Chain A
């Protein structure tokens, strides 16, 4: 057992898989000699060499297209897109190519690759380097979508993603990179499509993802100590496949549902889950499901504005309290 940062967990997860399988290769901008702009890939170039860890030009279409061509012919590439906002310049590969080649070819083509990307707000980078775009990917048939909230899950889910035969979009939260957590020694391999109850509780279910998980946990502590409301916090971890059984099971026990989402309001991931719960667990609910999200706005750069845009611990606690006491 060792304490590791989320940032170092990324490098350890990639190293674990590259050491295991010589067909795992890694490409992206500044990822090799520089160790990544977020320093999340330090040491990989030195450990695995220039044939397996390769710097690319600033050509996001070339990065993702090359990853796909390598994947369909036998390699297991990990591609980095530095900021998830840049998906917009290479979205053809994500939406039209990775996701559809198996179906269109009647199963002849495969696409076993991982796209890692820095997602989310908190760095005061403004509207084009701060977005949470996991919902852009969740809506596309053929993709798998993962977003870990802690160092252990980074390693385990990254390993599961690399070993998965489908294209996996792996969202790392930029504001979580410096956070620390206990990580066991040795190989860690998790399973895609499993949510985790990170705090059991009986009064309400709080679903959260990535940076919103520690905030939901902190809000749950406040709600318990100040208002006697006992919240269960579920780390969704994987949007596709979606572990609806864990979510529905939690709602069946607590009878209340709150989603805590960093994405802007419209078509955020919580909307789909609320719809599933309304459809399949309506009579388990004691009150309307509540979505706590970023407002439907581009993100501002100023810290004072960015801080109030995202769901804060205070806003989450207040919104839950109000709903539970009304």
Chain B
């Protein structure tokens, strides 16, 4: 922990030091790890070492970091196809994520799921779902189990702004509210569904928060590029869920720096918009925040260097990892480990 005198600049600026140095450093590290791993995934595309599709969270790191840092170990994450960030944030090794993107045998699912379905049950990552909205009801079910068993874990479900216009979103919100389930719905509003601005096709300004009242929930909009703000909102939502207070719907305003997927150069964005958001890059903001709280440049640089080294190591391991063996093709269709549908 920093000494009291180290915090002088923050106190002078009137900043709230409710979060503490250890957590702030963790929030920073998670964001940098996501940034570096996602950037590496993009570089590996260009080398044709990552195949298929991929949806990056560059620019959205603060949402994943804020919610993950406020979680407890038994909490369960439900992600979308844009799920690398949330998977890494739960402590899943970078090698396992990059290995899956590179379709190697060392990947999280040995190449059977791919970029859109990252899953690591041992880390509480209960799947990444590629049908928009599908995982909101599933997260409700996990929360129902916790409620039924009297367990204190919380299900957290991340999704994009586009999800707010699909039926499963509304079914899940109502269901969770009526059953008072310990589930948190986190909308990452990055302003675009795929290519179309969410505002062009939605009846309200804030696609998630402005619908909260319909389910008897408070309207919560958070600066999704400020990891501290996300962390505070997450903490309040976890506490409410664990106390039996039911679900929360949190809309985090953020922006993706890259296109929807690898195929999308994002030419539909108005001139200057990306630059405006890059000025509020969550990692840049957080580096300044750390300095305001008196954390030395060399501490920050050491985190940056350590993360970069770990991403490099993971990349090298994945490049030399074998491809999955062919005999796993027909394994794990059914619980007996095989695919037999007849005798």
Contact = CB atoms under 8 A, between A and B. Distances in A.
Partners in one complex: yes
Interface of A: 25, 51-52, 54, 56-57, 59, 61-75, 77, 92-93, 96-97, 101-110, 112, 141-142, 144, 164-166, 193, 240-245, 276
A5 B230 CA distance: 57
A93 B134 contact: yes
Interface stretch (B16-24, B28-36, B125-133): B125-133
Given A65-B135, A65-B172, A70-B141, 14 more contacts: A59-B137, A61-B134, A61-B171, A62-B174, A66-B138, A66-B141, A101-B127, A102-B333, A103-B112, A104-B112, A141-B333, A142-B334, A165-B335, A166-B334
B109 A141 contact: no
Given A62-B175, A65-B138, A244-B342, A107 B331 contact: yes
Contact of A97 (B120, B138, B334): B138
B112 A106 contact: yes
Contact of A243 (B144, B328, B343): B343
A105 B137 contact: no
Interface of B: 76, 108-110, 112-113, 117, 119-121, 126-127, 129, 131, 133-146, 148-149, 155, 167-168, 171-172, 174-175, 178-179, 328, 331-335, 337, 339-343
A104 B136 contact: no
B113 A242 contact: no
A70 B168 CA distance: 17
Contacts of B138: 65-66, 68-69, 72, 97
Given A51-B148, A107-B337, A69 B117 contact: no
B111 to A, nearest CB: 8
Contacts of A63: 137
A69 B142 contact: yes
A244 B140 contact: no
A103 B131 contact: no
Given A57-B178, A70-B141, A97 B149 contact: no
B342 A241 contact: yes
A138 to B, nearest CB: 9
B141 A68 contact: yes
Nearest to B173: A62
Contacts of A107: 331-332, 337
A144 B333 CA distance: 11
A105 B76 contact: no
Contacts of A67: 141
A12 B136 CA distance: 32
A57 B135 CA distance: 18
30 contacts: A52-B148, A61-B133, A65-B138, A65-B140, A68-B138, A69-B140, A69-B143, A69-B155, A70-B142, A72-B126, A72-B141, A73-B141, A73-B145, A74-B145, A77-B141, A103-B112, A103-B333, A104-B112, A104-B127, A105-B109, A105-B113, A106-B110, A106-B332, A108-B119, A108-B121, A110-B335, A112-B335, A243-B342, A243-B343, A244-B343
A51 B113 CA distance: 35
Contacts of A74: 145, 149
Nearest to A69: B141
A32 to B, nearest CB: 13
Contacts of B126: 69, 72-73, 109
A104 B113 contact: yes
A49 B120 CA distance: 35
A243 B331 CA distance: 21
A56 B174 CA distance: 10
A110 B333 CA distance: 10
B225 to A, nearest CB: 30
B121 A66 contact: no
Contacts of B332: 102-103, 106-107
B117 A104 contact: yes
A59 B174 contact: yes
Contacts of B129: 97
Nearest first, the 6 A-B pairs at minimum CB distance are A69-B141, A65-B137, A165-B335, A66-B141, A59-B171, A106-B109
A74 to B, nearest CB: 6
A69 B144 contact: yes
Contact of B341 (A54, A72, A110, A240): A240
B142 A73 contact: yes
A54 B180 CA distance: 13
A171 B136 CA distance: 26
